[in-house]
């Protein structure tokens, strides 16, 4: 058996509906609980994209450069008092736009003979970069070095002798 009770008129029903519509909804507040926050935390801030560091796979001293930019020959020493041009040839990858690669030629006691800057094209693929220095007959017999930098970061260095 079903029993029901109803009081009021249709107008009373409309009045109660309009009163209920003016009340604030409670469901959004109920959903913002500690448990909901634990299972649905705020979206984390993404970490900045890391720029890959430049990588050097080869550094060679040469007196000539091949058509593809690679060293034509490799040398461990250069003739003292020679007036030829020698090159430090570097195979480098992960170059970013605008990065400047520098070669600093030094004497054994750290004195700078020459400094050469190059701005290779941006590329993640390996590429050859050469750093020429004109000896001009001033290189006395001894030990020398060439160091390769990007900014203040030393990438590679190579020692050689003048005989």
Per-residue tokens: 122: 């941006």
Helix (H) or strand (E) holding 133: strand 127-134
Give the model's pLDDT for residue 35: 62
pLDDT class of 65 with cuts at 50, 70, 90: very high
Q: Name the least confident of 36-45, 56-65, 67-76, 89-98.
A: 36-45
In whole angstroms, what is the distance from residue 49 CA to residue 96 CA? 13
Domain ranges of the chain: 10-39, 55-162
Assigned architecture for domain 55-162: Distorted Sandwich (2.70)
Reported pTM: 0.68
Mean pLDDT of all residues in 124-144: 93
- The residue with greater pLDDT, 32 or 79, is 79
β-strand partners of 77: 161
pLDDT(51) > 90: no
Tell me the pLDDT tens digit for each residue of 8-17.
787 877 887 7
pLDDT class of 89 with cuts at 50, 70, 90: very high
Give the model's pLDDT for residue 49: 76
- C-beta of residue 77 within 8 angstroms of C-beta of residue 132: no
- C-beta of residue 121 within 8 angstroms of C-beta of residue 106: no
β-strand partners of 105: 114, 146
């Amino acid at each position: 058996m079903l029993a029901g009770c109803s009081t009021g008129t249709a107008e009373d029903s409309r009045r109660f509906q309009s009163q209920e519509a003016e009340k604030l909804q409670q469901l959004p507040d109920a959903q913002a609980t500690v448990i909901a926050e634990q299972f649905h935390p705020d979206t984390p801030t993404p970490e900045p994209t890391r720029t890959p560091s430049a990588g050097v796979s080869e550094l060679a001293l040469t007196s000539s450069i091949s058509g593809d930019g690679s060293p034509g020959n490799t040398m461990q020493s250069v003739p003292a008092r020679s007036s030829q041009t020698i090159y430090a040839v570097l195979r480098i990858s992960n170059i970013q736009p605008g990065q400047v690669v520098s070669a600093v030629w030094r004497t054994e006691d750290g004195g700078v003979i020459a400094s050469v800057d190059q701005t290779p094209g941006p590329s993640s693929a390996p590429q050859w970069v050469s750093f020429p220095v004109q000896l001009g007959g001033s290189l006395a017999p001894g030990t020398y070095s060439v160091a390769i930098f990007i900014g203040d970061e030393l990438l590679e260095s190579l020692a050689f002798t003048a005989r």
